[in-house]
């Protein structure tokens, strides 16, 4: 047998699957805040937040965000910094910046009403086929398929798809399956039921097949291949890197923060001046610290002292962040690069800013009493 042989359901199996999934969703679905609305803007906010982020984390962010920006125009009018501050901790900040840009487009191109056609929704920044399908199926019962991490697993298992679900061929087959299985009505509930099944029962490891409403239709269960399907992803290759973050202090106790530029990681967030450290510890590293500090902030420093080491991960990078403290005896405001925003702040003023995760950790350390 071709190991990526693809399965098609009979009309009867399809009807049965739709009925069982919709029935199960009606009685078992979790009561999540975005499930009590048909407002496209609110559903959009939830779908963007749920990308790469767990439901349990999203709930509080979703409620705070909608309390502050109850309508797409409120978001369009907001300052980007405030949007990022409300997003802080959710990660993938590009999502927030793109939502802000999309809200402005809804205001300018659609009279402040969230668009209702697939093409218009897809044209908004940060919205791909999945998100457009999710918003319009959940909010308006449009018969549009969705495919995301949970449904990839559920559909791969239902059809016993043995190839790589993320390959071009795998994606083509799974999108087709998602489309074929959609009922004529209640597509929104059906799509959510597939996601819910993936989140609650059809889990990556040890799926709860005995409780599954569609277990008798599942080809993977029939073959006993739950541990083999879906095919495992290639393991992530990690790369170790060292970076420096500088606590540059003036005589009055203020510390220099810079706002990350549009082309940088964590764009728009405030952070301590930070750069990759390639030189080994010793005099070469000291020279690199002086030179990079001058280039990034226009400030001359003579000596740095180790302040803290923070280890953290970003995408495939495992970063060792060497936090170094230095005193700036003669702050140079004239030499601060003009293409970047800077702020000299007392540590107590920092919490109000949208900070990178490590920036917030360092800011907290600065406010801790010296033992």
Active site residues: 47
Contact status: 243 vs ligand ADE (CB under 6 A): no
- Single out the segment in contact with ligand ADE by CB under 6 A; choices: 84-92, 155-163, 192-200, 210-218: 192-200
Nearer to ligand ADE, 50 or 152 (CB): 50
| Residue least distant from ligand ADE (Cβ) | 50
Residues numbered 55-114 forming contacts with ligand ADE, rule: CB under 6 A: 55
Q: Find the part of the chain contacting ligand ADE (CB under 6 A) among 47-55, 172-180, 317-325, 361-369.
A: 47-55
- Using CB under 6 A as the binding rule, the residues of this chain from 245 to 284 that contact ligand ADE are none
The nearer residue to ligand ADE, 175 or 275, going by C-beta atoms, is 175
CB of 215 to ligand ADE, least distance (A): 21
**Distances in Å between the alpha carbon of 361 and those of 6, 103, 126, 229, 266?**
50, 31, 29, 40, 15
Smallest distance from the beta carbon of 326 to ligand ADE, in angstroms?
45
Name the segment binding ligand ADE (CB under 6 A); options: 191-199, 254-262, 272-280, 313-321: 191-199
Nearer to ligand ADE, 193 or 326 (CB): 193
* Near ligand ADE in 198-227, by CB under 6 A: 199
What is the helix (H) or strand (E) element at residue 200, kind and residue range?
helix 187-200
**In the window 135-174, what residues touch ligand ADE (CB under 6 A)?**
148
Task: Report the residue number, 154 or 246, with the smaller CB distance to ligand ADE.
Answer: 154
Q: How far is the CB of 146 from ligand ADE (least distance, A)?
A: 8
**Separation of first and last alpha carbons in the chain:** 69
Nearer to ligand ADE, 36 or 333 (CB): 36
Q: How far is the CB of 76 from ligand ADE (least distance, A)?
A: 23
Q: Could you say which of 136, 195, 296, 321 contacts ligand ADE (CB under 6 A)?
A: 195
Alpha carbon distance 148, 132 (integer Å):
12
Contacts with ligand ADE by CB under 6 A: the residue count is 8
Least separation in angstroms between residue 331's CB and ligand ADE is 48
At 264, list the tokens.
């940088």
Closest approach of ligand ADE to the CB of residue 217, in Å? 22
DSSP letters, 255-303, are EEEEEPPTTSTTTT-EE--EEE--SPTTHHHHHHHHHHHHHHH----S-
Q: Binding residue for ligand ADE (CB under 6 A) from 151, 156, 187, 192?
A: 192
* C-alpha to C-alpha distance for 196 and 211, rounded to whole angstroms: 13
Half-sphere exposure for 362 (CA within 13 Å, toward CB): 30
Q: Which is nearer to ligand ADE, 47 or 88 (CB)?
A: 47
Environment class of residue 35 by beta-carbon count within 10 Å: exposed (0-12), middle (13-18) or buried (19+)? middle
Residue 47 binds ligand ADE (CB under 6 A): yes
- Which residue stretches of 317-371 are H helix? 357-367
Q: How far is the CB of 182 from ligand ADE (least distance, A)?
A: 16
Report d(CA 206, CA 223) in Å as an integer: 15
Q: Which residues in the 25-44 window bind ligand ADE by CB under 6 A? A: 32
Task: Using DSSP, state whether 345 is helix, strand or coil.
Answer: strand
Q: For residues 324 and 247, is the Cβ–Cβ distance under 8 A?
A: yes
Q: Which residue in 253, 245, 243, 244 sits closest to 328, CA to CA?
A: 253
Give the nearer residue to ligand ADE in terms of CB position, either 195 or 244.
195
Distances (CA, A) of 163 to 6, 105, 154, 171, 275: 9, 40, 14, 10, 41
Question: Cα–Cα distance between 78 and 339 in angstroms, integer?
Answer: 22
Nearest approach in angstroms of CB 357 to ligand ADE is 23
Please give the Cα distance from 359 to 268 (Å, whole number).
13
Selected binder of ligand ADE within 21, 48, 49, 50 (CB under 6 A): 50
Binding site for ligand ADE (CB under 6 A): 32, 47, 50, 55, 148, 192, 195, 199
């Amino acid at each position: 047998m071709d190991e990526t042989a693809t399965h098609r359901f009979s009309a009867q199996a399809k009807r049965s699957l739709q009925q069982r999934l919709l029935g199960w969703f009606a009685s078992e679905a979790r009561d999540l805040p975005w499930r009590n609305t048909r407002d496209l803007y609110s559903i959009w906010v939830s779908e963007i937040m749920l990308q790469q982020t767990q439901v349990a984390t999203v709930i509080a962010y979703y409620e705070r965000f909608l309390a502050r920006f109850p309508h797409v125009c409120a978001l369009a009018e907001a300052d980007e910094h405030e949007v990022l501050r409300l997003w802080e901790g959710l990660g993938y900040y590009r999502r927030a910046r793109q939502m802000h840009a999309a809200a402005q487009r809804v205001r300018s191109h659609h009279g402040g009403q969230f668009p209702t056609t697939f093409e218009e929704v897809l044209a908004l920044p940060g919205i791909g086929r999945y998100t457009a399908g999710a918003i319009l199926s959940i909010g308006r019962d449009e018969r549009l398929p969705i495919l995301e991490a949970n449904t990839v697993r559920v559909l791969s298992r239902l059809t016993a798809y043995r190839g790589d679900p993320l390959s071009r061929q795998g994606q083509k087959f799974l999108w087709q399956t998602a489309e074929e299985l959609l009922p004529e009505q209640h597509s929104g509930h059906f799509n959510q039921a597939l996601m819910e099944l993936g989140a609650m029962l059809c889990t990556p490891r040890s799926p709860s097949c005995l409780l599954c409403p569609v277990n008798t239709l599942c080809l993977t269960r029939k073959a006993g291949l739950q541990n083999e399907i879906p095919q495992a992803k290639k393991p992530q290759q990690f790369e170790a890197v060292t970076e420096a973050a500088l606590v540059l202090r003036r005589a009055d106790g203020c510390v220099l923060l810079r706002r990350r530029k549009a082309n940088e990681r964590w764009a728009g967030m405030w952070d301590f001046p930070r750069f990759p450290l390639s030189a080994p510890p010793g005099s070469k590293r000291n020279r690199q610290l002086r030179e990079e500090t001058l280039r990034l902030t226009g400030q001359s420093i003579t000596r740095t002292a180790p302040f803290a080491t923070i280890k953290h991960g970003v995408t495939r990078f495992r970063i060792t962040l060497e936090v170094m403290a230095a005193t700036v005896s003669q702050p140079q405001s004239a030499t601060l690069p003009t293409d970047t925003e800077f702020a000299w702040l007392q540590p107590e003023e920092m919490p109000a800013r949208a900070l990178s995760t490590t920036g917030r950790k360092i800011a907290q350390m600065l406010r801790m009493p010296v033992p």
